[in-house]
Amino acid sequence: LEHKLVHSERLASIGRLAAGVAHEIGNPITGIACLAQNLREEHEDDVELNEISNQIIDQTKRVTRIVRSLMSFAHAGSHKQDNESVCLADIAREAISLLSLNRNGVEVQFFNLCDPAHCVEGDPQRLAQVLINLLSNARDASLPGSAIHIRSEATEHSIDLIVEDEGTGIPKAIIDRLFEPFFTTKDPGKGTGLGLALVYSIVEEHYGRITIESPADPEQQRGTRFRITLPRHVDATPAS
Protein backbone atom coordinates (compact mmCIF):
# COMPACT_ATOMS: atom_id res chain seq x y z
CA LEU A 1 0.00 0.00 0.00
CA GLU A 2 2.83 2.36 0.91
CA HIS A 3 4.42 1.77 -2.47
CA LYS A 4 1.10 2.57 -4.12
CA LEU A 5 0.67 5.81 -2.18
CA VAL A 6 4.19 6.96 -3.01
CA HIS A 7 3.53 6.16 -6.63
CA SER A 8 0.27 8.19 -6.68
CA GLU A 9 1.93 11.14 -4.95
CA ARG A 10 4.75 11.02 -7.43
CA LEU A 11 2.33 10.87 -10.34
CA ALA A 12 0.38 13.82 -8.97
CA SER A 13 3.46 16.01 -8.54
CA ILE A 14 4.82 15.07 -11.93
CA GLY A 15 1.37 15.86 -13.33
CA ARG A 16 1.50 19.38 -11.88
CA LEU A 17 5.00 19.92 -13.17
CA ALA A 18 4.03 18.57 -16.58
CA ALA A 19 1.06 20.92 -16.84
CA GLY A 20 3.31 23.91 -16.11
CA VAL A 21 6.01 22.86 -18.54
CA ALA A 22 3.55 21.97 -21.30
CA HIS A 23 1.85 25.33 -20.94
CA GLU A 24 5.11 27.27 -21.05
CA ILE A 25 6.48 25.35 -24.02
CA GLY A 26 3.32 25.31 -26.14
CA ASN A 27 3.35 28.96 -27.24
CA PRO A 28 7.00 29.38 -28.18
CA ILE A 29 6.88 26.14 -30.15
CA THR A 30 3.87 27.34 -32.13
CA GLY A 31 5.84 30.56 -32.75
CA ILE A 32 8.88 28.67 -34.03
CA ALA A 33 6.74 26.50 -36.33
CA CYS A 34 5.05 29.61 -37.80
CA LEU A 35 8.37 31.35 -38.42
CA ALA A 36 9.78 28.28 -40.15
CA GLN A 37 6.67 28.07 -42.31
CA ASN A 38 6.97 31.75 -43.29
CA LEU A 39 10.63 31.26 -44.12
CA ARG A 40 9.77 28.34 -46.36
CA GLU A 41 7.07 30.28 -48.16
CA GLU A 42 9.15 33.43 -48.60
CA HIS A 43 12.17 31.58 -49.99
CA GLU A 44 10.47 28.95 -52.07
CA ASP A 45 13.37 28.77 -54.55
CA ASP A 46 16.09 28.24 -51.97
CA VAL A 47 16.40 24.45 -51.75
CA GLU A 48 18.79 24.42 -48.81
CA LEU A 49 16.69 26.83 -46.77
CA ASN A 50 13.60 24.82 -47.58
CA GLU A 51 15.22 21.66 -46.31
CA ILE A 52 16.23 23.37 -43.05
CA SER A 53 12.76 24.85 -42.60
CA ASN A 54 11.23 21.41 -43.08
CA GLN A 55 13.51 19.96 -40.45
CA ILE A 56 12.56 22.71 -38.01
CA ILE A 57 8.86 22.07 -38.67
CA ASP A 58 9.32 18.30 -38.17
CA GLN A 59 11.10 18.85 -34.88
CA THR A 60 8.43 21.25 -33.64
CA LYS A 61 5.84 18.58 -34.44
CA ARG A 62 7.79 16.17 -32.27
CA VAL A 63 7.84 18.63 -29.37
CA THR A 64 4.12 19.31 -29.85
CA ARG A 65 3.43 15.58 -29.58
CA ILE A 66 5.35 15.37 -26.31
CA VAL A 67 3.58 18.45 -24.97
CA ARG A 68 0.20 16.93 -25.86
CA SER A 69 0.92 13.72 -23.97
CA LEU A 70 2.20 15.75 -21.03
CA MET A 71 -1.06 17.72 -21.04
CA SER A 72 -3.29 14.66 -21.09
CA PHE A 73 -1.15 13.10 -18.40
CA ALA A 74 -1.33 16.26 -16.29
CA HIS A 75 -5.10 16.30 -16.51
CA ALA A 76 -5.32 12.82 -15.06
CA GLY A 77 -6.62 13.05 -11.54
CA SER A 78 -7.85 16.64 -11.78
CA HIS A 79 -10.29 15.54 -14.43
CA LYS A 80 -13.93 15.54 -13.41
CA GLN A 81 -15.02 12.03 -14.02
CA ASP A 82 -18.25 11.12 -15.79
CA ASN A 83 -19.74 8.11 -14.19
CA GLU A 84 -21.85 6.09 -16.50
CA SER A 85 -22.29 2.61 -17.81
CA VAL A 86 -19.52 1.98 -20.33
CA CYS A 87 -19.74 -0.78 -22.90
CA LEU A 88 -16.27 -2.22 -23.42
CA ALA A 89 -16.94 -3.24 -27.02
CA ASP A 90 -17.82 0.38 -27.90
CA ILE A 91 -14.65 1.88 -26.49
CA ALA A 92 -12.56 -0.90 -28.03
CA ARG A 93 -14.02 -0.16 -31.47
CA GLU A 94 -13.30 3.52 -30.97
CA ALA A 95 -9.68 2.86 -30.01
CA ILE A 96 -9.15 0.47 -32.92
CA SER A 97 -10.46 2.88 -35.50
CA LEU A 98 -8.49 5.77 -34.03
CA LEU A 99 -5.27 3.77 -34.33
CA SER A 100 -6.27 2.34 -37.76
CA LEU A 101 -5.13 -1.02 -36.41
CA ASN A 102 -6.97 -3.12 -38.95
CA ARG A 103 -5.37 -1.21 -41.77
CA ASN A 104 -1.91 -1.67 -40.31
CA GLY A 105 -1.74 -5.43 -40.71
CA VAL A 106 -2.54 -6.21 -37.08
CA GLU A 107 -5.66 -8.19 -36.49
CA VAL A 108 -7.69 -7.38 -33.38
CA GLN A 109 -9.93 -10.12 -32.04
CA PHE A 110 -12.72 -9.66 -29.49
CA PHE A 111 -13.89 -12.25 -27.06
CA ASN A 112 -16.88 -11.77 -24.75
CA LEU A 113 -16.51 -8.04 -25.08
CA CYS A 114 -19.91 -7.57 -26.68
CA ASP A 115 -21.72 -9.26 -23.82
CA PRO A 116 -24.23 -6.62 -22.65
CA ALA A 117 -23.60 -7.68 -19.06
CA HIS A 118 -19.93 -6.72 -19.39
CA CYS A 119 -20.38 -3.03 -18.73
CA VAL A 120 -18.15 -1.12 -16.37
CA GLU A 121 -18.76 2.00 -14.37
CA GLY A 122 -16.76 5.02 -15.43
CA ASP A 123 -15.84 7.75 -17.83
CA PRO A 124 -16.04 6.48 -21.44
CA GLN A 125 -13.43 8.90 -22.78
CA ARG A 126 -10.91 8.13 -20.09
CA LEU A 127 -11.45 4.40 -20.46
CA ALA A 128 -11.07 4.67 -24.24
CA GLN A 129 -7.73 6.38 -23.56
CA VAL A 130 -6.64 3.33 -21.55
CA LEU A 131 -7.37 1.07 -24.51
CA ILE A 132 -5.74 3.45 -26.98
CA ASN A 133 -2.51 3.42 -24.96
CA LEU A 134 -2.49 -0.35 -24.40
CA LEU A 135 -3.32 -1.10 -28.02
CA SER A 136 -0.74 1.28 -29.43
CA ASN A 137 1.95 -0.38 -27.28
CA ALA A 138 0.72 -3.80 -28.38
CA ARG A 139 0.88 -2.69 -32.00
CA ASP A 140 4.41 -1.30 -31.58
CA ALA A 141 5.56 -4.62 -30.12
CA SER A 142 3.86 -6.76 -32.78
CA LEU A 143 5.02 -7.97 -36.16
CA PRO A 144 2.64 -7.37 -39.07
CA GLY A 145 0.19 -10.22 -39.40
CA SER A 146 0.07 -11.01 -35.68
CA ALA A 147 -3.04 -10.72 -33.58
CA ILE A 148 -4.07 -8.72 -30.55
CA HIS A 149 -6.81 -10.20 -28.41
CA ILE A 150 -9.14 -8.12 -26.27
CA ARG A 151 -11.46 -9.98 -23.98
CA SER A 152 -13.49 -9.50 -20.85
CA GLU A 153 -14.22 -11.76 -17.92
CA ALA A 154 -16.92 -11.07 -15.37
CA THR A 155 -17.07 -11.76 -11.67
CA GLU A 156 -19.88 -10.72 -9.36
CA HIS A 157 -18.70 -7.16 -8.75
CA SER A 158 -16.01 -6.55 -11.33
CA ILE A 159 -15.08 -6.95 -14.95
CA ASP A 160 -11.60 -7.87 -16.11
CA LEU A 161 -10.52 -6.31 -19.37
CA ILE A 162 -7.64 -8.23 -20.89
CA VAL A 163 -5.43 -7.01 -23.72
CA GLU A 164 -3.00 -9.57 -25.03
CA ASP A 165 -0.50 -9.43 -27.85
CA GLU A 166 1.88 -11.86 -29.53
CA GLY A 167 4.71 -9.34 -29.65
CA THR A 168 8.20 -9.13 -28.22
CA GLY A 169 7.18 -9.52 -24.58
CA ILE A 170 8.68 -7.42 -21.79
CA PRO A 171 12.06 -8.29 -20.27
CA LYS A 172 11.75 -9.15 -16.56
CA ALA A 173 14.38 -6.55 -15.67
CA ILE A 174 12.17 -3.62 -16.71
CA ILE A 175 8.73 -4.88 -15.76
CA ASP A 176 8.72 -2.98 -12.44
CA ARG A 177 9.48 0.29 -14.16
CA LEU A 178 6.79 0.28 -16.84
CA PHE A 179 4.34 2.53 -15.01
CA GLU A 180 7.00 5.09 -14.17
CA PRO A 181 6.44 8.37 -15.97
CA PHE A 182 9.00 8.90 -18.77
CA PHE A 183 10.17 5.29 -18.74
CA THR A 184 10.45 4.21 -22.38
CA THR A 185 12.51 1.80 -24.47
CA LYS A 186 11.37 3.38 -27.73
CA ASP A 187 13.39 5.69 -29.93
CA PRO A 188 13.35 9.33 -28.91
CA GLY A 189 10.53 10.91 -30.84
CA LYS A 190 8.49 7.70 -30.84
CA GLY A 191 7.95 7.13 -27.15
CA THR A 192 7.31 9.58 -24.32
CA GLY A 193 7.04 7.01 -21.55
CA LEU A 194 3.78 8.53 -20.41
CA GLY A 195 1.35 6.02 -21.91
CA LEU A 196 1.33 3.46 -19.12
CA ALA A 197 1.68 6.10 -16.38
CA LEU A 198 -1.54 7.62 -17.71
CA VAL A 199 -3.18 4.18 -17.90
CA TYR A 200 -2.24 3.60 -14.27
CA SER A 201 -3.74 6.94 -13.18
CA ILE A 202 -6.99 6.38 -15.07
CA VAL A 203 -7.39 2.85 -13.71
CA GLU A 204 -6.79 4.19 -10.21
CA GLU A 205 -9.35 6.97 -10.77
CA HIS A 206 -11.84 4.20 -11.53
CA TYR A 207 -11.02 2.26 -8.36
CA GLY A 208 -9.50 -0.41 -10.56
CA ARG A 209 -6.34 -2.48 -10.65
CA ILE A 210 -3.85 -3.29 -13.38
CA THR A 211 -1.44 -6.19 -13.65
CA ILE A 212 1.00 -7.29 -16.33
CA GLU A 213 1.65 -10.85 -17.33
CA SER A 214 4.67 -11.08 -19.56
CA PRO A 215 5.46 -13.25 -21.39
CA ALA A 216 1.82 -14.04 -22.05
CA ASP A 217 3.05 -17.27 -23.56
CA PRO A 218 5.82 -18.51 -21.22
CA GLU A 219 6.62 -21.54 -23.41
CA GLN A 220 7.42 -19.39 -26.38
CA GLN A 221 8.71 -16.46 -24.32
CA ARG A 222 6.43 -14.24 -26.31
CA GLY A 223 3.64 -11.78 -25.93
CA THR A 224 2.32 -9.54 -23.20
CA ARG A 225 -0.95 -9.60 -21.30
CA PHE A 226 -2.38 -6.63 -19.44
CA ARG A 227 -5.29 -7.28 -17.12
CA ILE A 228 -7.41 -4.42 -15.82
CA THR A 229 -10.03 -5.06 -13.17
CA LEU A 230 -12.81 -2.47 -13.05
CA PRO A 231 -15.97 -2.15 -10.98
CA ARG A 232 -18.93 -3.62 -12.76
CA HIS A 233 -21.80 -1.31 -13.68
CA VAL A 234 -24.82 -2.09 -11.58
CA ASP A 235 -28.17 -0.99 -12.84
CA ALA A 236 -29.23 1.71 -10.38
CA THR A 237 -32.94 1.48 -11.09
CA PRO A 238 -34.55 1.02 -7.66
CA ALA A 239 -36.70 -2.05 -7.26
CA SER A 240 -40.39 -1.12 -7.03
Residues that bind ligand ADP (CB under 6 A): 133, 137-138, 141, 165, 167-168, 170, 178, 183-186, 191-193, 195-197, 224
User: Which CB, 54 or 221, lies closer to ligand ADP?
Assistant: 221
Going by C-beta distance under 8 Å and a sequence separation of 6 or more, which residues neighbour residue 142?
106, 148, 165, 166, 167
Closest contact distance (angstroms) between CB of 99 and ligand ADP is: 13
Residue of closest CB approach to ligand ADP: 195
User: Which CB, 39 or 63, lies closer to ligand ADP?
Assistant: 63
The CA distances from residue 12 to 18, 171, 201, 220, in Å, are 10, 27, 9, 38
Closest contact distance (angstroms) between CB of 34 and ligand ADP is: 27
User: Which CB, 83 or 102, lies closer to ligand ADP?
Assistant: 102
Closest contact distance (angstroms) between CB of 48 and ligand ADP is: 34
Closest contact distance (angstroms) between CB of 186 and ligand ADP is: 4
Instruction: Answer yes or no: are the C-beta atoms of 92 and 150 closer than 8 Å.
Output: yes
User: Which CB, 64 or 168, lies closer to ligand ADP?
Assistant: 168
Closest contact distance (angstroms) between CB of 193 and ligand ADP is: 4
User: Which CB, 54 or 109, lies closer to ligand ADP?
Assistant: 109
| Alpha-helical regions (H) of the chain | 2-42, 47-74, 88-98, 124-141, 195-205
Torsion of CA 106, 185, 213, 228, to 10 degrees: -80
Burial (0-12, 13-18, 19+ Cβ within 10 Å), 102? exposed
Query: Distance (Å, rounded) from C-alpha 102 to C-alpha 189?
Result: 24
